[in-house]
Amino acid sequence: MNNRRVVVTGLGVISPLGNTVADTWTNALAGKSGIDCLTGINDIDGNVRVAGIVKDFDAVARFGAREARRLDKASQFGMAAAEQALTDSGLQITEENMYDVGCLIGTCVGGIESMVDATVDFEERGQRGVSPLAIPRILVDSPSGRVSMMHNLRGPNYAIVSACATGNNSIGEAADMIRLRRVKAMLAGSSEATLIPMVLAGFDNMKALAHYTGGDPTLISRPFDSERSGFVAGEGAAILMLEDLDYALERGARIYAEISGYGHTSDAYHITAPREDGVAAAEAMKRALKDAELKVEDIDYVNAHGTSTQLNDKSETTAIKLALGDHAYKIPISSTKSMTGHMLGAAGAIEALFSILAIRDGQIPPTINLDNPDPDCDLDYTPNVARKHAVKHAMSNSFGFGGHNTVLIVSEYEKA
């Protein structure tokens, strides 16, 4: 199976940094934050009213008024990002290949805004108050299903849920589907839209969110900084077009990078907290390296999970050292969550996208707001300013509640 190579031929993104790949990447390299104050939310504490917010996204203009009403925002973001990736790839869906192209688009919680709305409708108006579209809007597999219908993709179509590791698992499992010859191509990634009071209240009550007490909201997400106080929730979607290398070459596709390694483990430890010793996360990195048939010294960049929480940033630093040894001190690492916020289920997918673009352009996006490094986080986290650096192999880490540790390695494409 591992002899079959899987490459990336298309990219799509809807994010707090922009609604195109070009805008998102330009703003990331510029160290621009997409975090802002939420408006229209009055029933939660003021200290959590900041988020990585998708801006200027007009669902009615994209899908029409009737269709937009039928879609939860998680599906809207996923469909928009998938359309970008498919168009970018240049792959035409025809009667000849429609069963050879599938989609695997995950999300942490599906259409949770639609779930809350339906619950309120039921409580206020009873059974007849619940829309017949409520369940399709809520389902976790709705983004993937709607993408399949939108583009007549008749290959495998499903969703994966692994909390904040969902994006990496979706890409890794889709790549394995191609390696197993189940399909020739897959749209893979994740989408999330959870910026509603109930979700924010739940995160805040578990003491996970950063505390905002006023001032500039763009300064609140501070991965690896000694003054970090928690993560900032974000929203959006990122989708990759993955293809069997031979199939991509046959049709003359442009190739961004190769999915070369995939590893995942479980902490088997705590429902929300990571293992402080980092051993299971380190094992996921080691397994990704083994899958890619790479040595530790081959890794040129790590896009860290880097949530800006006290527990994650210390334990991830420990895990990177365990996995990479002395080499961990020699390479740039960054947390792009400092700019996007934590896009939850969509985080891994956009961070894989950033890793691919780092390979393409030889540029490392910064960790902004890293002004006072935590002594326990003593690696090179690319503080505040992007850096030119040749990248042949990049590692992208994603960890999730429930103990999920998922690692992708993306590599520069080289002809055999």
User: How far is 337 from 388, CA to CA, in rounded Å?
Assistant: 20
User: How far is 348 from 371, CA to CA, in rounded Å?
Assistant: 25
E strands along 204-344, which residues? 236-244, 257-266, 301-303, 333-334
Contact present, 408 and 396 (Cβ < 8 Å): yes
Q: Is residue 108 flagged as an active site residue?
A: no
Q: Is residue 393 flagged as an active site residue?
A: no
Q: Is residue 305 flagged as an active site residue?
A: yes
What is residue 309's three-state secondary structure? coil
Q: Which of 108, 151, 264, 305 is catalytic?
A: 305
Instruction: Please give the span between the terminal C-alpha atoms of the chain, in angstroms, as a whole number.
Output: 17
**15 strand-pairing partners:** 18
Q: Which of 342, 377, 393, 404 is catalytic?
A: 342
* Sign of the CA dihedral with 219 first, then 222, 228, and 234 last: positive
What is residue 264's three-state secondary structure? strand
Neighbours of 9 (CB within 10 A): 25
* Entry field: residues in the chain: 416
Contact present, 333 and 301 (Cβ < 8 Å): yes
Q: Which of 179, 181, 185 is nearest to 251 (CA)?
A: 185
Q: Which of 103, 108, 164, 377 is catalytic?
A: 164
By annotation, the residues acting in catalysis are: 164, 305, 342
